[in-house]
Amino acid sequence: MLVLAHISDLHLDGSARATERAERVRDRLWGLPGRVDALLVTGDIADHGTETEYEEAARILGLHDGGAPFPVLTCPGNHDSRAPYRKALLGHPAADGPVNSVQVFDDGAVLMCDSSIPGSDDGALDEETYDWIEATLDELDGSLPTLLAFHHPPVALHHPLPDSYRLDRPDRLAALLGRRPEIAGLITGHAHTPAATAFAGRPLVVGPGVTWTLRLPWEGEQVADRDAPVGLAFHVLDDEGRLTSHFRVVM
């Protein structure tokens, strides 16, 4: 069984407000008394994609100083920028192409996929990423239940804002899922509101936002609820590949 904490959309911009909210959820996670296998951070980590913002993210998330009590797995969102993300967040030299990574545990695997399109708010998994997913799953040989995590949801969530920037070519992703029964579910961010739905017969769970919460159309006209508390999810992937998600707010 895997227990995965999940946060999204930190939008670190150098403001005290963004820093405080990210540190608040970090403190909650680092202080948990029980076992957590990893933290997933599904994009929009920086607000403007600057090196300084990624240096702050790396500090808050304990990426370079061993401060995190479990692995912290990240993927970029539409506000992120690949070169400074690689350099300051991951500590890798700048390189071209999508930022994809895999973490293999005894009881499951998580593929963190790059759905960003440089210079655009739209989302897509490009051919290089699809090739990487297929090769990574080939290597795992169907032996472990696997989650795919990326930023942009591939379906409409029934709000005009996230629905206008969702993952392009969902049919391509659905075809992949059709060939890969080991994919137990999809985890995304981007919408700044927790949501649960299905895509191509698999659970699709959208994590809440750290920076603000999306107000749904029937909750009022103003899109961003900046007074809502920081959101956090826990995903449990059991040995049968069944995904259970829990949600918390951090006051």
For the bound state, the minimum distance from the C-beta of residue 179 to Fe ion, rounded and expressed in Å, comes to 28
Query: Which of residues 166 and 190 has its CB atom nearest to Fe ion in the complex?
Result: 190
The sign one gets for the Cα dihedral 124, 127, 129, 135 is positive
* Residue (37 or 44) nearer to Fe ion, CB: 44
Name the minimum Å distance from CB 76 to Fe ion: 10
For residue 210, the minimal CB distance to Fe ion (Å) is: 9
Residue 77: CB minimum distance to Fe ion, A: 4
Closest residue by Cα to residue 134 from 187, 173, 184: 173
Closest CB 149 distance from Fe ion, rounded Å: 14
| Angle, in degrees to the nearest 10, between helices 51-60 and 16-30 | 30
How many Cα atoms occupy the beta-carbon half-sphere of 17 within 13 Å?
10
Among all chains, which residue has been given the structure tokens 């670190």?
Answer: 12
Describe the strand order of the beta sheet including 72-75 as a list of residue ranges.
Answer: 72-75, 38-42, 2-7, 230-237, 243-250
CB 72 within 8 A of CB 45: no
**Closest-approach residue to Fe ion (CB):** 44
Nearer Cβ to Fe ion (76/108): 76
Task: Give strand ranges (E) for 36-182.
Answer: 38-42, 72-75, 101-104, 109-112, 116-117, 120-123, 146-149
Q: Give residues in contact with Fe ion (CB under 5 A).
A: 9, 44, 77-78, 190
Please provide residue 117's backbone torsions phi and psi, each rounded to the nearest 5 degrees.
Answer: -120, 115
Q: With respect to Fe ion, which residue has the nearer C-beta, 89 or 237?
A: 89
Least Å from the CB of residue 190 to Fe ion: 4
Is the Cβ of residue 46 or residue 58 nearer to Fe ion in the bound state?
Answer: 46
DSSP bridge pairs for 111: 102, 148
> Which lies closer to Fe ion via its Cβ, residue 44 or residue 168?
44
